[in-house]
Amino acid sequence: MSNKISYFFQTVAVIVISAVCFLFFKEVLPKRIFSEAKPSAKNVVVDSILLEAVALDEKSDSKAEKGVDTFRRKKIVFEQIDGITFPPEEYEQYKGFQFLIPFFEKLYLLETEQKGDIRIAYFGDSMTDGDLIVQDFRNALQAKYGGKGVGFVSITSESAGSRSSISHQYSSNWKTQSYLNVKRPLKPFGVNGHVFFANDTLSKPWVNYKAGNGVHTSELNNPTLFYGNSANHEGELIVKIGKDTLVKKLNPDKLLNTVAISNTALKSFKASFHKADSIPIYGFNFDDGKGVHVDNFSNRGNSGLPISTFNAKLMNQFQERFDYDLIILHYGTNVLNYGSLNYDWYEKSMTRVVNHLKACFPGVTVLVISTADKATKYDLEMKTDSAVVPLTLAQRKYAVQAKAGYFNLFEAMGGEGSMTKWVEEEVPTLAAKDYTHFNYKGAQKVAGLLYQQIQTGYAQYKEMRKNRKITPNKAAVDSVSSKTTTANAQ
């Protein structure tokens, strides 16, 4: 009995002491554990150029009506390109097939005469992480028009572990600089937005590639290393293929250099670097030189703005080697998170990005993909985030102004409330529980929607081409220019 009384008084004593301590420390403790202020962007995985652009926008005195597209146009009327003129488009339904004519012409020559090959650079954010969307888009094009190979692959990648189109491992002693957070790299960024350096102080940095299981990516076709300029002429590339070991001297004399690993397809290989620490390494390319090839340049946290830091001279060299016919810009996820409904700053910045890309890759056509739907909780219900539609308007506007094609992914997937349906109603589920990203099945569907729009434009082009004389000369196609004239809304 006495023990029970003792325990009772001990419990009361603890409660009293706790209450006294609380009252004492209450005056010195912060009123809120989590501040209501905007979190610092210092450690946020998002590109630094976007953070700066947002900060400048917050300081600006812009009086633009928020959430409203002030780019008031009724119809977009196109000028003729080599005898082809697509019908005028309502601004709200803009697709811009007219600006894809050089790409369509290359597709036509490939399909009908098996002439040339086509290469596409697909720039994106976490939506294309792990080759999602891109791998199915690539597969659809290669199934119809030919081509084998996964394309260009970086030395290291944050999504290597989740990618099935190629198996990719690498050592931890690579020095990596990314255009997401470095303004002045030691050497210019490669076409993938990164530059890598082999830090071989203790051991040789290495990378290992193994072909995936896809129908068109089951081999590493013509593996070729791409690297940059350096005064270091001692660097060596050591390649292990099965039981064989090859040693290749690196000659970094040009702005962009290549060394072929094999002129035949491989299943796997391991490459290590010796005395190559000051030589900029960009990555390996895998393609068979025929049909269609699609490079996936995805970066988590990317807004698209870092592309403006590309070195035009180096990109010209990449263009001479790869001859890109189409660049796809798939961004938006990371631009939605800053509480603003006025995206004039983004529209203007991305217009400059597209123009810079056209200088970097002469003759290329550009296709802009809008942000997908994203759901946010309002009054305990998941609904389309209020920033989605204003951002799609800004993306359409910069596509028109930069003379690029436009794919409205938000509308294609169902428009208002579609992300909630893809997460909660579709069977099987098409998107993740973050109500932002697609899962494997959803990515397949998005790739199909994109492929379908391109095929629709291409079919229209072929129909119009029948009765018009087209010069099947790439130089002629690349030299064409197009202008848009618009009529003001009544």
Residue 52 confidence class, pLDDT cut points 50, 70, 90: low
Strand partners, 283: 154, 226
Q: Is the CB of residue 129 less than 8 Å from the CB of residue 300?
A: yes
Domain boundary among 258, 289, 320: 289
Domain identity same for 111 and 197: no
Summarize pLDDT for 145-167 with one digit per residue, the tens: 999 999 999 999 988 988 999 99
**Does any domain span residue 198?**
yes
Give the residue from 365, 305, 401, 382 showing the smallest Cα distance to 69: 401
Give the per-residue pLDDT at 200: 79
Question: Stretch 315-343: mean pLDDT, rounded?
Answer: 92
Single-letter code of the amino acid located at 116:
G
Give the per-residue pLDDT at 17: 72
| DSSP category for residue 81 | B
Residue 34 confidence class, pLDDT cut points 50, 70, 90: very low
| DSSP category for residue 332 | -
**Does any domain span residue 186?**
yes
What is d(CA 66, CA 17) in angstroms, rounded to the nearest whole number? 54
Domain identity same for 211 and 327: no
What is d(CA 485, CA 488) in angstroms, rounded to the nearest whole number? 10
Residue 337 confidence class, pLDDT cut points 50, 70, 90: confident
Give the per-residue pLDDT at 201: 76
Strand partners, 118: 292
Q: Is the CB of residue 197 less than 8 Å from the CB of residue 230?
A: no
Strand partners, 446: none
Number of separate domains in the chain: 2
**Does any domain span residue 393?**
yes
Give the per-residue pLDDT at 341: 87
* Alpha-helix residue ranges (DSSP H) falling in 100-176: 101-113, 134-145
Give the per-residue pLDDT at 116: 87
Q: Is the pLDDT of residue 117 over 70?
A: yes
Q: Is the pLDDT of residue 115 over 90?
A: no
Domain identity same for 365 and 430: yes
54: domain range? 41-115+303-490
Instruction: Report the residue count for the chain.
Output: 490
Give the residue from 315, 329, 323, 301 showing the smallest Cα distance to 134: 329
Domain boundary among 242, 264, 289: 289
Domain identity same for 416 and 343: yes
| DSSP category for residue 123 | E
Report how far Cα 324 is from the mean position of its chain's Cα atoms: 16
Q: Which residue has the tokens 């931890």?
A: 172
Among the residue ranges 325-329, 338-342, 400-404, the one predicted with the least confidence is: 338-342
Give the per-residue pLDDT at 307: 97
Give the residue from 167, 234, 257 showing the smallest Cα distance to 207: 167
Q: In whole angstroms, how far apart are CA 39 and each of 44, 220, 269, 332, 431?
A: 9, 44, 44, 20, 27
Question: Stretch 69-86: mean pLDDT, rounded?
Answer: 79
34 token code pair:
């989590």
**Does any domain span residue 245?**
yes
Summarize pLDDT for 164-184 with one digit per residue, the tens: 999 999 999 999 999 999 989
Give the per-residue pLDDT at 195: 98
Report how far Cα 226 is from the mean position of its chain's Cα atoms: 20
Give the per-residue pLDDT at 25: 54
Question: Stretch 221-230: mean pLDDT, rounded?
Answer: 98
Domain identity same for 276 and 423: no
CB atoms within 10 A of CB 320: 11
Q: Is the pLDDT of residue 197 over 70?
A: yes
Summarize pLDDT for 414-442 with one digit per residue, the tens: 999 999 999 999 999 999 999 999 999 99
Domain identity same for 109 and 189: no
Domain identity same for 391 and 249: no
Q: What CATH number is given to the structural domain containing 393? A: 3.40.50.1110
Residue 12 confidence class, pLDDT cut points 50, 70, 90: low
What is d(CA 329, CA 369) in angstroms, rounded to the nearest whole number? 6
At 242, is the secondary structure helix, strand, or coil? Answer: coil
Rg (CA), the chain: 26
The pLDDT > 90 percentage for the chain reads 74
Q: Is the pLDDT of residue 251 over 90?
A: yes
Domain identity same for 204 and 320: no
Summarize pLDDT for 286-300 with one digit per residue, the tens: 999 999 999 999 999
**Does any domain span residue 391?**
yes
Domain identity same for 318 and 203: no
Interstrand relation of 75-78 and 484-487 (parallel, antiparallel or unpaired): antiparallel
What is d(CA 480, CA 363) in angstroms, rounded to the nearest whole number? 9
Interstrand relation of 117-124 and 326-330 (parallel, antiparallel or unpaired): parallel
What average pLDDT does the chain have? 86
Domain identity same for 341 and 253: no
Q: Is the pLDDT of residue 353 over 90?
A: yes
Q: Is the pLDDT of residue 472 over 60?
A: no
**Does any domain span residue 162?**
yes
**Does any domain span residue 139?**
no
Give the per-residue pLDDT at 479: 35
**Does any domain span residue 466?**
yes
Which one has a higher pLDDT value, 64 or 112? 112
Give the per-residue pLDDT at 278: 94
- How many Cα atoms sit within 13 Å of 490 on the Cβ side? 0
Domain identity same for 408 and 481: yes
Dihedral angle over CA of 27, 30, 33, 39, nearest 10: 170
Question: Stretch 199-224: mean pLDDT, rounded?
Answer: 93
Question: Stretch 11-26: mean pLDDT, rounded?
Answer: 62
Give the residue from 412, 275, 322, 348 showing the smallest Cα distance to 122: 322
Give the per-residue pLDDT at 20: 60
User: In a 10 Å sphere around its CB, with 0-12 CB exposed, 13-18 middle and 19+ buried, how is residue 47 labelled?
Assistant: buried
Q: Is the CB of residue 453 less than 8 Å from the CB of residue 93?
A: no
Domain boundary among 263, 289, 315: 289
Q: What CATH number is given to the structural domain containing 162? A: 2.60.120
Domain identity same for 267 and 313: no
